[in-house]
């Protein structure tokens, strides 16, 4: 290497420390806006509001996830119970009733005071009350009527608030009206719970409507299966008693014809034919008695179902638990 080449190389090398120092200083630069990336600190309100937003937009799956994240990271926050309730509601809206029941149960078991204070006085108590109702609704939709009733009775044990009690009795009334579609004895229980609803909190038209509904339950038209069976000794009379006039006429004519035919056969000495016709006639005669008794039972079931349908259609007991309005408009709607 010549002296000139060495000199050039030394000139270049003098910049090397400056470059090295610059790189060192850059590496110490904090990760802030100056360098391009921004750090976001998520607080409880932001997380909760985001979950609420997802719920309002009916993105229930995301809402559940976000509420759970909120509960996990901010377990001491005052909105935790509300978040747990919202998780239950989200499962309910997704029609995952099993998980909804579990979610509402968690609230009920975790915060189970001996006595509930009236709704409106504290947000958490209101959530507990609503958790009982939502759990009961979900159980009804799962077909678990007994469990639903038990849940309502548990609520009645711990609440002293008249409005909540009336809501619970209304729920139980409709629950038993639902059960009465397949089990007629349930109608008596429905009537019993209907009477428990405080009429003081209902305005006069509602009160009159309630009274009339109770009276209708006592006046349901029924047919006696015993009378139907006894009258059917005359073929067709049992059907006529049950207001089945065509069946009665056909039964009378058919049985009469077979009886006459059997008599004629025996009278003509044709015993084999007479026996065969008698055998057939025995079946139809017994069938006439059986059919008459069965018709009475079917009549009673039809009248009962018509009444229940009428109650569901016309008599909506809907609880509007608006805290501003203590004069209750007692309506309660259970989405069966």
Partner 1 sequence: MALESCSHGNPGMNFFQEHISPIDGNRCSSYPSCSQYSNTAFKKHGAVMGWIMACDRLVRCGRDTATLSKKVVINSEVFAFDPVEANDFWWYEEKVE
Residue 50 is a binding residue for partner 1 (CB under 8 A): no
Nearest to partner 1 of 131, 179 (CB atom) = 179
Residues 69-108 that bind partner 1 (CB under 8 A): none
User: Which stretches of 94-185 are DSSP H helices?
Assistant: 97-110, 123-141, 145-158, 162-179
**Residue 246 touches partner 1, criterion: CB under 8 A:** yes
**With CB under 8 A, what is the number of residues at the site for partner 1?**
22
Q: Could you give the CA distance from residue 113 to residue 286 in angstroms, rounded to a whole number?
A: 63
DSSP classification of residue 117: P
Region from 57-65, 156-164, 293-301, 307-315 binding partner 1, contact rule CB under 8 A? 293-301
Closest distance of CB 260 from partner 1, Å: 17
Q: Does 297 bind partner 1 (CB under 8 A)?
A: yes
Contact 304, 220 (CB under 8 A): yes
Q: If binding is defined by CB under 8 A, does position 221 make contact with partner 1?
A: no
Region of 58 (left: φ > 0; alpha: ψ -120 to 50; beta: rest) is left
Candidates 68, 298, 303, 312; binder of partner 1 (CB under 8 A) is: 298
Using CB under 8 A as the binding rule, whether residue 119 contacts partner 1 is answered as: no
- Determine, following the binding rule CB under 8 A, whether residue 286 of this chain makes contact with partner 1: yes
Bridge partners, residue 330, by sequence:
319
The minimum distance between CB 308 and partner 1, in angstroms, equals 15
Q: Verify binding: residue 192, partner 1, rule CB under 8 A.
A: no
DSSP single-letter state for residue 28: T
Distance CA 254, CA 262 (A): 12
**Residues 110, 283, 306, 310: which binds partner 1 (CB under 8 A)?**
283
Residues 6+ apart with CB under 8 A from 135: 88, 100, 101, 104, 105, 108, 151
Handedness of CA 86, 133, 156, 331 (dihedral sign): positive
H or E element, residue 319 = strand 318-319
Considering the rule CB under 8 A, would residue 43 count as an interface residue with partner 1?
Answer: no
Q: What are phi and psi of 318, to 5 degrees?
A: -120, 125
145 near partner 1 (CB under 8 A)? no
- Asked whether the beta carbons of 210 and 194 are under 8 A apart, the reply is yes
Indicate whether 154 belongs to the interface with partner 1 (CB under 8 A): no
Binding segment for partner 1 (CB under 8 A), chosen from 8-16, 142-150, 152-160, 250-258, is 250-258
Q: How far is the CB of 236 from partner 1 (least distance, A)?
A: 9
Among 9, 53, 264, 301, binds partner 1 (CB under 8 A): 301
Positions touching partner 1 (CB under 8 A) are 225, 239, 244-247, 250-251, 254, 283-284, 286-288, 290-291, 293-294, 297-298, 301-302
């Amino acid at each position: 290497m010549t002296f000139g080449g060495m000199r050039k190389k030394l000139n270049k090398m003098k910049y090397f420390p400056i470059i090295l120092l610059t790189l060192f200083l850059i590496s110490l630069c904090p990760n802030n806006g100056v360098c391009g990336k921004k750090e976001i600190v998520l607080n409880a309100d932001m997380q909760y509001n985001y979950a609420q937003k997802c719920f309002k937009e009916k993105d229930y799956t995301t809402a559940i996830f976000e509420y759970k994240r909120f509960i996990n990271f901010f377990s001491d926050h005052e909105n935790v119970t509300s978040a747990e309730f919202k998780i239950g509601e989200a499962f309910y809206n997704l029609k995952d009733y099993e998980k909804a029941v579990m979610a509402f149960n968690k609230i009920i078991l975790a915060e189970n005071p001996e006595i509930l204070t009236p709704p409106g006085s504290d947000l958490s108590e209101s959530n507990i009350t609503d958790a009982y109702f939502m759990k009961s609704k979900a159980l009804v939709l799962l077909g678990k009527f007994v469990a639903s009733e038990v849940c309502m009775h548990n609520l009645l044990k711990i609440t002293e608030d008249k409005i909540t009690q009336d809501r619970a009795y209304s729920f139980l009334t409709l629950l038993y009206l639902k059960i009465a579609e397949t089990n007629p004895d349930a109608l008596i229980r429905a009537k019993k719970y209907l009477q428990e609803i405080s009429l003081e909190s209902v305005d006069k038209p509602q009160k009159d409507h309630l009274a009339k509904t109770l009276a209708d339950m006592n006046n349901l038209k029924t047919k006696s299966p015993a009378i139907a069976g006894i009258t059917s000794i005359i073929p067709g009379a049992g059907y006529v008693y049950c207001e089945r006039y065509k069946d009665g006429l056909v039964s009378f004519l058919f049985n009469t014809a077979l009886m006459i035919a059997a008599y004629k056969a025996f009278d003509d000495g044709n015993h084999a034919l007479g026996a065969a016709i008698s055998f057939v006639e025995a079946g139809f005669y017994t069938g006439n008695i059986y059919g008459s008794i069965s018709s009475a039972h079917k009549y009673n079931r039809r009248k009962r179902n018509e009444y229940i349908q009428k109650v569901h259609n016309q008599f909506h007991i809907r609880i509007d638990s608006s805290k501003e309005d203590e004069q209750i408009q007692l309506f309660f709607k259970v989405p069966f």
